[in-house]
Chain A
Amino acid sequence: MIIAVKLFAAVKQLAGREIVEVDIPDGGTVHDLRAALTQSFPDLGKILPHTHIAVDQQYAAADQTLHADSEVACIPPVSGG
């Protein structure tokens, strides 16, 4: 299934776009998504290990299952305030 991933700040800058799409197996997890991102977007390799993945606007654990309609975002370390 194709998962669209929202990007922000330096991750968006490195990728050169706000949303990227990755293909993971049906029933795939956040862990699978990370692997697909790392493989498909080598430019993100350095920063990805520092990021969280959010699913439906909540920080997600590596074993969380994704669905085709999940809202997925890559969250680099935050710096608000």
Chain B
Amino acid sequence: MIRLTEKPIDSQQVLAQVQSHRAGAVVLFLGTTREFTGDRQTSSLDYECYPEMAEQKLLELENEARTRWEIVDCAIVHRLGHLELGEASVAIAVSSAHRQNAFEAGQWLIDTMKAVVPIWKRENWSDGTAEWVHPGTEPSTSKTT
């Protein structure tokens, strides 16, 4: 199950999506809004995506995870829009008969998602500036409006 949502992520609901009597393990990963990156202070984040392609890519990731590991079920939810500190931007839950597959598939899903799915984060810094995060490029800072 994959979902892009503007609403807060309900982690219990994501867990419930993958729980099954066939599973002896459930792994849940939450990515949450961190206040400090080095010595820079974040006040909030905004996420945007290319919706059609992001859904397509997330489905591909789910299918590939199911091919590579013996998992019972998997759920990937990514939040979009404005997030305050501490809120979850992403939840990935994987269930499997034994824990190793759930751990490995979960780690692969978050790592691969961060590398290929067209979703972008904007850091709204506490000094009033904001910048889109594009790893490997020079920051392009702008004043928050």
A, B bound: yes
A residues with CB within 8 A of B: 6, 8-10, 13-14, 46-47, 50, 54, 57-59, 71, 73, 75-81
User: Chain A residue with minimal CB distance to B78?
Assistant: A80
- Since A10-B131, A13-B140, A77-B136 are in contact, a sample of 13 more A-B pairs with Cβ atoms closer than 8 Å, ordered by chain A residue number, is A8-B50, A10-B134, A54-B50, A71-B52, A75-B53, A79-B114, A79-B133, A79-B134, A80-B78, A80-B89, A80-B114, A81-B89, A81-B113
Question: Is B38 in the interface zone, CB < 8 Å from A?
Answer: no
Question: Is B82 in the interface zone, CB < 8 Å from A?
Answer: no
The total of chain B residues at the interface (CB under 8 A) is 33
Assembly CA distance A54 to B138 (angstroms): 22
Report chain A residues within 8 Å CB of B117: 78, 80
